[in-house]
Amino acid sequence: MQKGYSKKKLGSYPSIGVIISITLALIVIGLFGIALIYSNQLEKLVRDNIRMEVYLSTNLTETQRDQIEKKLEALPYISKETLGPALQFISKEEAAKKFIEETGEDFTKLLGENPLHDAYLISIAPEFHQPEEMQKIKKELEGMNGIFQVVPKEGLIESVNKNITSISLILLGLAALLLITVVLLINNTIRLALFSQRFLIRSMQLVGAKRWFIQRPFIVRSILYGLIAAVLASASIAGLVNYAHGEIEDLILLMNKDHVMLLAGALMILGMLVAAISTFFSIGRYLKMSLDELY
């Protein structure tokens, strides 16, 4: 009877509730992390599709065209990490065929010839996506033998840069707000859980236990729960992502496995660190309370 009363008096730690609460909080921040990964890859796709058009002079031989292609491939500002080909050749016949398919008008019959030029579409590395840099590249390319004209698409690049900057600031603000919310949620969960242990903490203090001796087992347990919650959250997020990829196939193009692994590691660190810090300060608070305040 006395044993049962003592157990009730000291309280039991709501382990399952703590793990579930931390898991849900980490799932929320993890899904937002996945959204950030998608947006980062989407930005890369958008930039890859912004291609500078390099039109060649007419009557070039195959050898001359190959020489120009090798020169273009060796340029330092050609993107090396593009998802598609960094250098794409479009013959004037292909360009005419595409124009006729899109407009339904065969201009070659009207003119009696194909006035278009062979061209290369080249992907420029993102660090050169500034108007002044694009102008330098345009000037350099137009100075090469065999190149007729260069169209840099500066207006499109400037628009993309502006929109990406605005979106990045919004996402950064949301990420900071969400992170603070998740940290507070985990902190409150730990504090509420330790509330049931306040008499056990006081009992250990009364028998002469040192502060760190009292805190250590609670901190170790909170780290373990944080790790378990992070693993459960990562598994849940992986399941949701796989389901989304099955429903929307194109989403797989926005996935970056290295970034996902970093996100999983960040969730584990966040879960364990916040749980440990919250436990440390919560127990310190109860150790400073008087017996009347504990009630």
Question: 163 or 4: which carries more pLDDT confidence?
Answer: 163
- pLDDT score, position 238: 93
Cβ atoms 160, 48 nearer than 8 A:
no
Q: Residue 266: which pLDDT band, with cuts at 50, 70 and 90?
A: very high
pLDDT at 257: 86
Residue 202 CB neighbour total at 10 angstroms: 17
Q: Tell me, what's the pLDDT at 7?
A: 42
Same domain, 131 and 199: no
Of 276, 289, 216, 253, which is closest to residue 37 (Cα–Cα)?
A: 253
Dig out the tokens for 154 from the structure: 């500066």
Q: Please check the confidence at residue 29 and state whether its pLDDT lies above 70.
A: yes
pLDDT at 34: 92
In the block, which residue shows the tokens 């090396």?
80
Q: Is the pTM of this model over 0.85?
A: no
Q: Which amino acid is at 193?
A: A
Rounded to the nearest 5 degrees, what angle is found at the Cα of 171, between the Cα atoms of 170 and 175? 120
Number of structural domains the chain divides into: 2
**Per the domain annotation, does 2 fall within a domain?**
no
Q: What is the pLDDT of residues 218-241, one digit of tens each?
A: 889 889 999 999 999 999 999 999
Give the CATH number for residue 57: 3.30.70.3040
DSSP letter at 147?
E
For 72, phi and psi rounded to 5 degrees?
-65, -40
Higher pLDDT pick, 162 / 173: 173
Q: Residue 1 domain-assigned?
A: no
Over residues 68-105, the pLDDT tens digits come to: 999 998 888 888 766 667 788 999 889 888 888 888 88
DSSP string, 172-194: HHHHHHHHHHHHHHHHHHHHHHH
Domain membership of residue 63 as a residue range: 51-152
